[in-house]
Structure 1
Amino acid sequence: MKYFRKATERGTVDLGWLKSQHSFSFGHYYDPAHMGISALRVINEDRVQPGQGFDTHGHRDMEIISYVISGALKHKDSQGNEFIVPAGEVQRMSAGSGIMHSEYNASDSEPVHFLQIWIQPKFRGITPSYEQMQVHQHGAMTPLVTPTGEPGTLSINQDARISRLQLKPGAQYKLTSAGTGYLHLVSGHAHSQELALNAGDAFATEKDETVTIYADSALEALWFELP
């Protein structure tokens, strides 16, 4: 295992309407020891108050994934996409040559809790694109995002895969990646080797390393297989 970070060590932002925890350097939070893992550049755990959100702003040459944990997001962009992304659905926006977008809490009464994930692209300057999908869980590990957009998954402009791991209490699962692996615990409690894992904790593995995770409660995690 080449990297481990506790949720409590993340950078924090509190703007009142937005409470965010940054796994890697982002915005005004700078930490040269945590600049990303392989092509994974950003994981922000955001909580946005009702009716609030991010005004229209621009991105380019970045693969941006929103993983909604609870509540719903309202997305609008300069490509004409305007969608609600409820909990359980996954959104992918390829900023490519440039795109403007806004992202708001879709509710006027309930907060929205989601992960904002940025992955550096394989090819720069591509035509911007957007996908959104509900992916039902099939077994412990279910692919959500794949390089070629395998059936039932979103595509991504990178040799990377994102899968959702769900385990019942007492279950275990072996994690192996042909490249760099990265696990982000969304909810629940677990342990692996000598590590105790809680929601927001994360670790990265070496190429071809196998790590077994043991669920101490019902858990949900995102597993990244990165170049």
Structure 2
Amino acid sequence: MPEMEPAVTIQRSAERYLSVREGIETRHCFSFGDHYDPDNIGFGDLTAVNDEALAPGSGYDLHRHRDAEIVTWVLDGTLEHEDSAGHHGTIRPGTIQRMSAGAGVEHAERNASADDSLRFVQMWLRSDGVDRPSYRQADLEAHLDEPEFVLAVAGGHDETAAIDIDRVGAELWIGRIAGGVDVALPDAPLRHLHVVRGGVAIDGEQLADGDTMRIAAPGAHRIIAEGATEVLLWAMHRSS
């Protein structure tokens, strides 16, 4: 019989693949670019989770994507986005952004500041086949002080989500949690928990900034924040 995948897998920040280029440092949760690992090409709907640090004025020139839902969450600084479909956006902490690449689109991303560093997490998911590129962003700042997860992105036209994506069954929940607060994770067959600031205790484990946990079974899990903490949780209701 084939070996069963563990129900819970932890990836520490230092275990992620590191890419360095002029003015840019990226840590990848999955195989990406020159970092190919056949045992780590994605998890559920996710094909990339990249933690990006850009020096002042640096960034990515126009480059092409297709058949992907690209979701971006800024932690520090200001990100400028433009694409070949005519969309332009300024994304700051508290703003969620989604670009559907459709059958093909070029986009550029830069640190908008000449003085301040930029850090953001960019997450890619498989698309359900939309042809036309599209773009949306939404300000969540007013909702993030609540002691619970906020539904930022969801596939399937869930009207409770701030933004929809073209991937049915995928949900991005964001939590800013005060120290000592105990919060339940939204349930799903597959979940990817990413601590982007602070730390949490979960199932007897400690997760710090940059650590991730992959949960490959439904069921109850709770996290306790260790100081001011920010987490991204992808809850996925199908496996492919």
TM-score by length of structure 2 reads 0.90
Q: Using the TM superposition, give the Cα deviation of residue 32 of structure 1 relative to its aligned residue in structure 2, in angstroms.
A: 2.2
AA matched with 1:155: D
Q: Does 1:129 align with 2:129?
A: no
Q: Does 1:95 align with 2:101?
A: yes
Q: Does 1:150 align with 2:150?
A: no
Change in Cα spacing, 1:36 to 1:26, as seen in structure 2 (3 Å) is same
Residue number in structure 1 paired with 2:52: 46
Unaligned runs of 5+ in 1: none
Residue number in structure 2 paired with 1:13: 19
Partners of 1:80 and 1:61 lie apart in 2 by 18
Q: Does 1:205 align with 2:215?
A: yes
Partners of 1:126 and 1:149 lie apart in 2 by 21
Output one character per residue of 1:64-87: Cα deviation in whole Å (capped at 9) or x when no partner: 011000101111111111221122
Check the 8 A contact 2:29/2:49 in 1, yes or no: yes
Task: Choose from 192, 195, 206 the match for 1:196.
Answer: 206
Q: How does 1:149-188 map to 2 (within 5 A)?
A: 149-151=158-160, 153-158=162-167, 159-188=169-198
Q: Structure 1 vs Structure 2: percent identity of aligned residues? A: 31
Of the structure 1 ranges 59-68 and 141-150, higher mean CA displacement relative to structure 2 is found in 141-150
Large movers: runs of 4+ above 3 Å: none
Change in Cα spacing, 1:54 to 1:38, as seen in structure 2 (3 Å) is same
Check the 8 A contact 2:65/2:105 in 1, yes or no: yes
Q: Using the TM superposition, give the Cα deviation of residue 152 of structure 1 relative to its aligned residue in structure 2, in angstroms.
A: 5.5
Of the structure 1 ranges 170-179 and 54-63, higher mean CA displacement relative to structure 2 is found in 170-179
Q: Using the TM superposition, give the Cα deviation of residue 2 of structure 1 relative to its aligned residue in structure 2, in angstroms.
A: 2.6
Partner of 1:34, secondary structure, is coil
Partners of 1:173 and 1:47 lie apart in 2 by 29
Partners of 2:172 and 2:89 lie apart in 1 by 22
Check the 8 A contact 1:59/1:100 in 2, yes or no: yes
Q: Using the TM superposition, give the Cα deviation of residue 141 of structure 1 relative to its aligned residue in structure 2, in angstroms.
A: 0.8
Q: How many residues align?
A: 226
Check the 8 A contact 1:46/1:116 in 2, yes or no: yes
Partners of 1:196 and 1:133 lie apart in 2 by 31
Residue number in structure 2 paired with 1:139: 147
Output one character per residue of 1:134-173: Cα deviation in whole Å (capped at 9) or x when no partner: 1132432111101215256011011210011122111112
Check the 8 A contact 2:194/2:211 in 1, yes or no: yes
AA matched with 1:118: W
Partner of 1:8, secondary structure, is helix
Partners of 1:197 and 1:218 lie apart in 2 by 13
Partners of 1:72 and 1:22 lie apart in 2 by 21
The alignment yields a C-alpha RMSD, in angstroms, of 1.4
Partners of 1:196 and 1:60 lie apart in 2 by 37
Check the 8 A contact 2:102/2:129 in 1, yes or no: yes
AA matched with 2:229: L
Unaligned runs of 5+ in 2: 1-6
Q: Using the TM superposition, give the Cα deviation of residue 216 of structure 1 relative to its aligned residue in structure 2, in angstroms.
A: 1.7
